[in-house]
Amino acid sequence: MPEKIIHPSLKFIKAGYAITLLVVLAAAGLAVAYEQPVWTAAIALLLFVWPLERHLHRQLTKVTIFEDKLRYELGLFSKTTRTIQLSKVQDVTVRQSLGQRLFGVGDLSIETAGETSRLTVENIDAPQAIADGIIAASQQGQKGQNA
C-alpha cells in the first residue's frame, strides 16, 4: 500500500475565514458610515484568531497510513505520536453530523485490539472511503500474519 497522508478538512476553516472577512468588512463599513474611529474596525480583525488557530491545528494534525502501520501525529513544539499496527484494527467508525454530511466530511474513530481508548480524527474529507481503505489494509495485514 502506498503511503497516504490525511489531514482534517479545510472546508470549515475556509468558511470561517470567509465569515470573519465579511464581519470585518461590515465593521469597517459601519465605522466609516457612523464616523467611528478606524481602530474600532481594527478590533474586528481579532476575529481572525479563531480560523487561524483552527488552520494551525489542522496543519499540526496528521494521520499517515503506510506499509502495515497507521501513525497519528499531533503537535508542533511538543509532539504526540501514536502508531497502530493495521492488523490490530478491530473497528473503524465514521460519524457525520448533518453539517458534516452536507460538506462531505466526518469524524473517523479507530479502535484496536487491546487498547482502552479510541483514536478519533475530526472533520476529514471522504471519511467512508478512508475507513474502507483502513479496513482493507487491516484485513491484508491479518492475512499476512496468518500465512
d(CA 87, CA 75): 26
CATH for the stretch 4-146: 2.30.29.30
Q: Nearest 5°: CA angle at 54, between 46 and 13?
A: 90
Can you give the residue ranges of every domain in the chain?
A: 4-146
List of the chain residues with pLDDT < 70: 1, 40-41, 115-116, 141, 144-147
pLDDT for residue 30: 84
pLDDT for residue 65: 93
